[in-house]
């Protein structure tokens, strides 16, 4: 197939990839920038973000307060210097986003309507009704159209091109001299695999929610960037910190689960158990506005103790007109399944929501492999620590996208890097799979193993059993991978296997409960 050269290759079309691409396109109008996405250009984790962006905007708020809230939510495992950097740069990044065309809700006084979410001690969430992510996604796509950015839809990155393909032997895991030269990318329309070379490659492929059976993440969130980086021997940290969102709409068998935004509790909704009791009052002084790890564990305990299948959000006491104005999408969804939020309780359960760990990067977004950057949920920046504070993720992508672009602008010599002879993709499998059920079965098996054994509460025995099951699925998947012709389905399964393995192995290395990680052993 073809060898296609770019100056900058970006894998992923969400806020992490597009915000970086736009800044680089403005700085380098003569450079070839390609953004590769495996689905439609508007389909990304960003699109499904309901809540908003956390920014110190009100004079009554302060950077120190936002920093303190972030550190507390992350159970003091965050890198404080990174937290300070992100929080203090937030207003400038938001102004930039507004200048690009993003619109946020206003009050009757024509000031920004600042919401409040769990873990925040002040109203600092800028939002666009309950579809903030979608508003941002569309804004960025419009900006991308104005610049020299080629957006390739239905193109699936298979693996990174590193020294593993160029030389026969690599000495050690995470070797400092490793380079990235681009990626092998499948054109899903003709199933051909092209060699996309670039001196700069950015991983911005989103999270790994599909590792679990119940998740708020879209079906494309299969941990592709983390898995590719891991196979390339990049450093991957903190995969044990899986954030479960406390309030996904309870609809058995539905995946992805519909998210009932944390902003609903910030607006004043109560959590009630099957007896109608507000159980969070006895758990944390912040009640429903405690951080997500605390609320999720409380719900998990409530369900295990009572045997109930869900708990409930009570919005009946709220100003219904204001509630409708703020959460029209959520209300419409509830109405579609026969729930009138003005008088009916909304059934909710926790669901896998966010990967706090990922590919380790510095403040310039650089990974341990030269020429390879990472941003967004794919990256482990040090901001979230053991648990992400609500509405910090979109902000993180904007700030790190800025730092990545600034670092590349300051180091223009990277474009002049000498390239070795890059081999074309060497396909192993040649057999067309007779039964795709073998691949879908293994995918479901990974998801149920993780949901049953590696969820909100873990134990040594559960983790060991999960690892045994995953090792079998890994061997079976690798056998299939080498045998059959390549397809997005088999590659996604391989990526899910890698992420599940990392979550389990890094969970087994934990010696204390921190943030989103909780084991009955400690």
Which residues are annotated as catalytic? 292
Question: Is there a contact between 207 and 223 (Cβ–Cβ < 8 Å)?
Answer: yes
Place of tokens 């119940």: 214
* Continuous segment of H or E residues that includes residue 503: helix 488-508
Please report the DSSP string for 31-82 in residue order: S-EEEE-SS-TT-STGGG--S-EE---STT--HHHHHHHHHHHTTT-S-HHH
**Residue 326 CB-half CA count within 13 A:** 27
Pairing of strands 311-314, 346-355: antiparallel
Rounded to 10 degrees, the C-alpha dihedral 38/44/45/50 comes to: -160
Q: Rounded to a whole number, what is the distance in angstroms from the first to the last CA of the chain?
A: 53
Q: Residue 374 in 3-state DSSP?
A: strand
Q: How many CB atoms lie within 10 A of CB 441?
A: 14
List 374's β-bridge partners, or say none. Answer: 203
Give every CB contact of residue 499 below 8 A, 6+ residues apart in sequence. 208, 211, 222, 223, 226, 227, 239
For 414, the token pair is: 């990277």
Pairing of strands 200-203, 3-5: unpaired
Please calculate the CA angle 394-396-398 and round it to the nearest 5 degrees: 75
Residue 26: which of 372, 415, 409, 394 has the closest Cα?
409
């Amino acid at each position: 197939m073809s060898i296609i050269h770019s100056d900058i290759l970006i894998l992923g079309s969400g806020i992490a990839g597009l915000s970086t691409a736009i800044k680089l396109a403005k700085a380098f109008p003569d450079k070839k920038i390609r953004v590769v996405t495996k689905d439609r250009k508007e389909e990304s984790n960003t699109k499904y973000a309901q809540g908003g962006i956390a920014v110190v905007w009100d004079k009554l708020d302060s950077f120190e307060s936002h920093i303190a809230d972030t550190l507390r939510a992350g159970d003091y495992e965050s890198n404080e210097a990174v937290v300070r950097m992100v929080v203090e740069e937030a207003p400038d990044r938001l102004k930039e986003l507004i200048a690009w065309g993003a619109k946020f809700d206003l009050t009757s006084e024509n000031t920004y309507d600042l919401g409040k979410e769990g873990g925040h001690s002040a109203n600092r969430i800028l939002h666009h009704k309950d579809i903030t992510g979608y508003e941002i996604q569309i804004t960025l796509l419009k900006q991308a159209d104005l610049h020299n950015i080629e957006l390739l839809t239905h193109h699936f990155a298979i693996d990174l091109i590193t020294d593993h393909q160029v030389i026969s032997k690599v000495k050690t895991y995470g070797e400092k001299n490793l380079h990235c030269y681009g990626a092998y990318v499948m054109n899903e329309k003709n199933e051909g695999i092209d060699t996309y070379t670039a001196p700069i490659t950015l991983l911005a492929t989103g999270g790994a929610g599909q590792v679990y059976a119940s998740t708020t993440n879209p079906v494309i969130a299969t941990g592709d960037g983390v898995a590719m980086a891991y196979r390339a021997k990049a450093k991957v940290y903190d995969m044990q910190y899986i954030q479960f969102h406390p309030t996904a709409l309870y609809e058995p068998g539905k995946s992805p689960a519909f998210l009932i935004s944390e902003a609903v509790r910030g607006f004043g909704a109560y959590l009630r158990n099957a007896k109608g009791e507000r159980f969070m009052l006895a758990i944390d002084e912040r009640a429903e506005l405690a951080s997500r790890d605390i609320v999720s564990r409380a719900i998990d305990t409530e369900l295990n103790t009572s045997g109930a299948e869900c708990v409930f959000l009570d919005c009946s006491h709220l100003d219904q007109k204001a509630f409708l104005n703020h959460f029209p999408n959520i209300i419409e969804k509830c109405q579609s399944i026969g729930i009138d939020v003005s008088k009916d309780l909304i059934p909710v359960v926790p669901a896998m929501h966010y990967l706090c760990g990922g590919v380790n990067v510095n403040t310039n977004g650089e990974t341990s492999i030269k020429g390879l950057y990472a941003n967004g949920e794919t990256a482990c920046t040090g901001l979230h620590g053991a648990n992400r504070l609500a509405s910090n993720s979109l902000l993180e992508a904007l700030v790190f996208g800025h730092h990545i672009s600034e670092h590349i602008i300051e180091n223009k010599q990277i474009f002049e890097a000498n390239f070795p002879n890059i081999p074309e993709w060497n396909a192993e499998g040649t057999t067309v799979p007779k039964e795709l059920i073998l691949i879908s079965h293994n995918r479901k098996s990974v998801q149920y193993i993780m949901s049953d054994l590696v969820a909100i509460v873990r134990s040594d025995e559960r983790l060991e059993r999960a690892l045994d099951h995953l090792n079998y699925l890994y061997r079976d998947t690798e056998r299939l991978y080498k045998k059959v012709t390549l397809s997005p389905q088999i590659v996604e399964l391989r990526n899910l296997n890698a992420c599940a393995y990392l979550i389990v192995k890094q969970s087994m290395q934990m010696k204390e409960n921190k943030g989103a990680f909780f084991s009955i052993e400690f």
